[in-house]
Amino acid sequence: MANVAVVGSQWGDEGKGKIVDWLSSRADVVVRFQGGHNAGHTLVIDGKVYKLHLLPSGIVRKNKQSVIGNGVVVDPWALFQEIKTIQSQGVDVSPDNLMIADNAHLILPVHSAMDVALEAARGKGKIGTTKRGIGPCYEDKIARRGIRICDLKDKTLLKAKLERLMDHHNALLKGLGAEEISPASIYEKLEEVSDKILSFAQPVWRVLDQKQKEGSRILFEGAQGIMLDVDHGTYPFVTSSNIVASQAATGSGMGAKSVQYVLGITKAYTTRVGSGPFPTEQENEIGQHLGEKGHEFGTTTGRKRRCGWFDAVMVKQAITISGIDGIALTKLDVLDGMDEIKICIGYKLDGQVIDYYPAGQADQENVEPIYETVEGWSDTTYGARSWKDLPAQAIKYVRRVEELIGAPVAMLSTSPERDDTILVTDPFQP
């Protein structure tokens, strides 16, 4: 048996929620290891839609342990609102099935205020942040002035830390022309939720170590996609955390050998939300068609996603950087009915052909995609649950994608429904 890490191999929105939910039937523990409530995972189960942001996707299954690891930044007010919403849909959430790392950092009201003020100050150079305080919280974490869940236990120390934190932020808010925030007001708000959040807090690293020794199967759930990784993505148009699979160990407190299989969730075309380069973007009727048929609107923000052809160069790079063993190819059905389909197989930059996505911001914006055209198919793939249900040309497309990215398709998703999935390789028993 293997512990499995699930990561997005593009710019997020690849369909991780459904795949993690599907895999969680085979897991004992599901762990979120990075990001915050800027993530959005949509699950469709028996026609019922669940929209998750902070909660691990395993929460909708009974008798599963869900964990929010130390690599996640937690907005307690957003978390409790999400718990309330999911409970109203009949899902049980309590300290019995949800555990939060006691050393996870807290997103405070000042962080969202900073996010809004900084994004406004960027003008035309906006990053495209969700303005939920994720970046400023990670910034405080790295600067060693952040507030962690365990800090809520010591009121005297908490007040001192808040004073220091707000000395920094109020100077910035004032300089940006925004309203200052008193440390006392944040303390009062924290007092209202501290006992509740502490009831979920545990030394997660210790519990997960024990679970592993007991032989439990652990599923690590990533948010966003590798091309939004703060180190390896389209910097500065990225998120504020590492998304690569190695973060599963760091963001949960487990050793590097705790992950034995990495599954990369990969959409059969490409989408992106917000600002930043997008070599294969189709700002035409093709992009419009993909967006409409794929229902491409962000779970968290509701923003319309930009759409384009599959970029094999970028996905191959993500596979290499993140050590992906196999991919789960999603939304193949969105390509149904297209006469021809294009795949990016390389780039041109300054007159030269290159086979990788460069790191420089200007280079990323200036690369020109080199396309290969393949024949489309007229029959539907929607709801297919075996290879024999797929049109021949759809199978050829999948096989060509495998060749170009250098990784096998371990799973194939053909609709948002949980059971509309073709399993080629069980990641837990590769």
The residues annotated as belonging to the active site are: 13, 41
Q: Which residues contact 145 (CB under 8 A, 6 or more apart)?
A: 161, 164, 165, 168
Spatial contact of 130 and 300, defined as CB atoms under 8 Å apart: yes
To the nearest 10°, the Cα dihedral for 151, 152, 154, 156?
100
Q: Where are the beta strands (DSSP E) in 139-243?
A: 201-202, 218-221
Instruction: Give just the sign of the alpha carbon dihedral 282, 285, 289, 292.
Output: positive
Biggest CA–CA distance in the chain, Å, is 68
What is the rounded CA–CA span in Å between residue 137 and residue 135?
5
Among all chains, which residue has been given the structure tokens 């099935």?
97
DSSP string for residues in 19-31: HHHHHHTT-SEEE
Spatial contact of 221 and 56, defined as CB atoms under 8 Å apart: yes
- At 205, list the tokens: 């690293």
Q: Where are the beta strands (DSSP E) in 90-198?
A: 98-101, 105-106
Three-state DSSP at 304 gives strand
Spatial contact of 423 and 29, defined as CB atoms under 8 Å apart: no
Spatial contact of 85 and 37, defined as CB atoms under 8 Å apart: no
CA 319 to chain centroid, in Å, comes to 16
Among all chains, which residue has been given the structure tokens 């599959």?
310
To the nearest 10°, the Cα dihedral for 145, 148, 150, 152?
80
Q: Which residue from 34, 7, 71 is spatially nearest to 225, judged by alpha carbons?
A: 7
